[in-house]
């Protein structure tokens, strides 16, 4: 659920790119924007210092951030390569 939350919040601004680029490129940009481990690590560190989150919640946040780093970039690169392949087909 946290991975979806990260995607929605951080990739949302990529919807504005749809005016400039096709859907695949905008989705790839959104996925790359949603990739982050540093922000979840800072949030966890601050939350633990303030005793506002427990160890289980901290682990879930860090795991979600790690999943975004491992999954989102390859998916984005796949989308970009398909967009380039479509452009090549259209130009020939």
Domain extents in the chain? 2-91
**What's the farthest any 2 CA atoms get from each other in the chain?**
61
Quote the Cα angle for 68-45-39, to 5°.
Answer: 35
Task: Note if the pTM is more than 0.75.
Answer: yes
Q: Record the tokens describing residue 65, joined without a space.
A: 């951030």
Tens-of-pLDDT digits for all 92 residues of the chain? 989 998 899 888 888 877 788 888 888 999 999 998 999 999 999 999 999 999 999 999 999 999 999 999 999 999 999 988 888 888 77
DSSP at 29: H
Residue 32 and residue 79 in contact, taking contact as beta carbons nearer than 8 Å: no
Q: How far is CA 9 from the centre of its chain?
A: 9
Q: How far apart are CA 90 and CA 55, in angstroms?
A: 52
Count H helices and E strands in the chain, helices first: 4, 0
């Amino acid at each position: 659920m946290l991975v979806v939350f990260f995607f929605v919040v951080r990739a949302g601004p990529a919807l504005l790119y749809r005016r400039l680029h096709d859907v695949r490129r905008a989705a790839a940009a959104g996925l790359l924007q949603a990739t982050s481990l540093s922000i979840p690590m800072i949030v966890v560190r601050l939350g633990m210092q303030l005793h506002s989150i427990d160890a289980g919640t901290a682990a879930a946040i860090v795991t979600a951030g790690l999943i975004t780093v491992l999954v989102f970039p390859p998916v984005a690169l796949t989308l970009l390569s398909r967009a380039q392949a479509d452009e090549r087909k259209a130009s020939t």
